[in-house]
Structure 1
């Protein structure tokens, strides 16, 4: 590894001294590795990937190991782990902490897949007690604490309402109650937010999103400074769950990480300009983006983040039919789930990502039929605005007598 200390430099560094002098992490596809001989004294724990020792692909892989070092470094953490998906990473983090009879507190405005996992797997099937709170107020988290609380699971900013929680304040609550704080940092990325430095115990990512950045690889990651938690995560990843990231996706992730700083700056520049444009438009009633002074948590965002990233949500004037007219008209943007790619993606949460929550739960969270979430890409902002104008023109035409 080179001696660079700043984010963009560290992002392009190689984390292994490849024998052939590769400047790009090679894809190691071997499922098993030749052993020099048998050693009655050796255990699996003795195999050291840092020393170039590998035994079996589920346990470790050179491509995956290199990107795990890269992930840890960019989050300013000690130990990183790469998984087959973001959901796999979050599930592994939870399994690494909770024991029978434990209580979990989670932000109520989580990504729908995470919330369903907590409700349908950990609560309904495995019997854990799960409480969802509006964590915008740390006091709500403190009030929900019980003697059995072992894990606080936060996401900030949240999906899709772009709510924030005070990581530092909630980390103090966790520490005072011997609980672990996990933070999903997918929206902010380590470029704009460092939860470990703010007191979190473990950070999670869907690397499918900004870290990969090109919508061509699925994955997840965990980073922690806690050696005991790292040991439990590693056991669950390699032995208990076997949900590690495949070599090719690890290669794609490594490639994406190298340009993350450049991409995140352009994502934010485009998103800020688009948020201001939407905030002044007659066809829009509300814009949710922490870079706007109108966002109720803009002060917190400026305190714990170094930027506001590339996702915003907004409310169209009208109902589901207005949303349909708008979405049927766009040309440059893509109607699709996911986020964080170089291309702009438009999501209608009520019928797409958050449809499984049901109408009642969506209403409780403020997810209306007219809410759209935009993952703003790196295209020319003028073309994106032109696309919005096409959509808004369709709305205005429909309401003209």
Structure 2
């Protein structure tokens, strides 16, 4: 989905046309029991097409000033191009092979409602949100202003075990999909996902509270402005020992392509950090991996990113470690792979410390 976000963010700036063909017979065949070996046809690369190494479902082709990108997911196809004639030729070619149904301009793709205007492109999942509310019986529920109560403490042993855990598991499973356009839900849904093994009553009540928040914000989503730049900016943070059961920390980051939010994550760290600086350091390393991959991805869209990517962090000790790997007292217990990663990649990026942002965060 990061590839989808990135493609739409670039398409709205370059004013590319976005069309959506659909394969008619994708699910009409019976289940295969034989082993099937597939390879690209011999003539696939004769016209300059190339498969992205950053995402194998993305195919691009350039011919002079013309550019076209093809993004495929099962039977969903998204085509972006600056040349409408090239798009027509590609649709005719694909129709002879797979029998396509032309859905016209992009409006609904993989459950995402796409709305385009001269100001940019907006994504939301209000149709899916209403389906979740209806399925859970929360269409008439009281809306909530926040996805979860402040200072709420949850653990694997608090509360009464649910007699039927299927309700909780089904609800969390359905709430995972809206997180691809709702970064405000990501942390809370992934938090509750940790308790799907043996869910308890407080976990279910917290999930219901998220539904009440969705009820008040069904049309919230992403917006990719048309007047944006292609400067990559990332913000990273960590929540030290935020998991009471394991004492592990949480990594959180968001990556912007200009003014468009294209990638974000909230994930429990694999190891236990002995200080907040170490947790922040690991969070920075994870964010750098995402930046490196995103730089590779945007290159396939003929986007030149000549400037340094900016990574913002509000932990002074972590910034000292990134600038000076021989900060012995704070790094002697860190794993070797993090230091090797930093020596290999941090030298290629200029970390810009926004003093105003830092002072503001310190005041908070």
Please report the TM-score for the alignment, with normalisation by the length of structure 2: 0.29
Q: Flag the structure with higher strand content.
A: 2
Structure index of larger Rg: 2
